[in-house]
Structure 1
Amino acid sequence: MPDNVLIIRLHSLSGEDISMVTGDFDGERQAVEAIASALDERRSLVLTQAGYDHETETNGVVVNLANVVLVRVSTSDSAGAGQYL
């Protein structure tokens, strides 16, 4: 996993929340813009350097944003940090 990791927490309409660690973006702003663009264009979010819950192994992940109601992007996994979308 690269040094510039971000934590993306997805809150779905139903089901459990998902927390992923990704090195796909240079910062929070770039991640939020990419997620907002995917939502506006009604397409999936594609991550090439992602892992679940602080895994050390990175994988490619495709996120279907159709049922996502809230996304939080942060550099730490605390409840009060990060940008919401």
Structure 2
Amino acid sequence: MQKKIPQRMCIGCQTMFEKKQLLRIVKTPEGDIIIDPTGKKSGRGAYICSKKECLNTSLKSKRLEKAFKSKIPEDLYNTLEEYFNER
């Protein structure tokens, strides 16, 4: 029997991908919102694929804020843009 591969939805394009293909952004139990490159930190996670358009879509429609039910710090958006530019 083949092992099931975990799937997650990109908050930008609303497409399902394998979990390992996506970048996880997590709201920790303390309330901090950070990038989680390992995908293992505890807390509420939201996933985004590697397309720059998905990042722009999620910023414009405030999908991260809706996913975490809280205001997203401006520096996190800057960090995400730098991360996407490096990839």
Higher relative contact order, chain-length normalized (CA < 8 Å, sep 6+): 1
TM-score w.r.t. length of structure 2: 0.29
Based on CA coordinates, which of the two structures has the bigger radius of gyration?
Answer: 2
Higher helix share: 2
